[in-house]
Structure 1
Amino acid sequence: MHQHHAPHGRLTAQETAMLLGITMANLRVIVHRGQLRRAGGTRYRPQYALDDVTALHATRAARTTQSA
């Protein structure tokens, strides 16, 4: 299996899903709902901006903390 790396400031889909603690299928749902936008890559190897992913992570963490 080949390891693909995103440019500085971007994450691969796999890295994004791992950071958010979700599956690839859930990542696709989040993107489809417009909660996260692609920042490059290709159709089959999307990339996401690190800043966008960390902001989404913080939002999701705050929601989890508030509901607890």
Structure 2
Amino acid sequence: MESQIIRPGHLTAHQTAHVLGVGLDAVRQMVKRGQLTRSGGTPRQPWYAVEDVTALAAKRRTLDAA
């Protein structure tokens, strides 16, 4: 299996899940609901922009604190 080199400023699905404190299935659901957008990679190994992930993490923290 060929592995891709991730572009700077992007996170893998596993890294994204870790930052958000959720599992991979939750990341897929966030994409499906339009809360998060893939920014590269492949359908099986998507990448997400760091800015999008950190913004979503901050939004989730704000909602959790309310």
Task: Please say whether Structure 1 and Structure 2 have the same fold, judged by a TM-score greater than 0.5.
Answer: yes
Per-residue CA distance 1:19-49 (angstroms, 9 max, x = gap):
1000001110010000000000001100000
Q: Which residue is equivalent to 2:50?
A: 50
What residue ranges of structure 1 are gaps of 5+ in the alignment? none
Alignment partners' CA distance in 2, 1:5 and 1:59? 29
C-alpha distance in structure 2 between counterparts of 1:15 and 1:55, whole Å? 15
How does the TM-score come out when normalised to structure 2?
0.91
- Structure 2: which 5+ runs fail to align? none
Q: Report what 2:62 is aligned to.
A: 62
Q: By how many angstroms is 1:6 displaced?
A: 2.0
Distance 1:5 1:65, change over 3 A: farther
**2:28 counterpart of 1:28:** yes
Q: Look up the SS of the partner of 2:19 in the other structure.
A: helix
Aligned residues: 64
Query: SS state of the match for residue 47, structure 1?
Result: strand
Q: Share of identical aligned residues, percent?
A: 44
C-alpha root-mean-square deviation of aligned residues, in Å? 1.4
TM-score by length of structure 1 reads 0.88
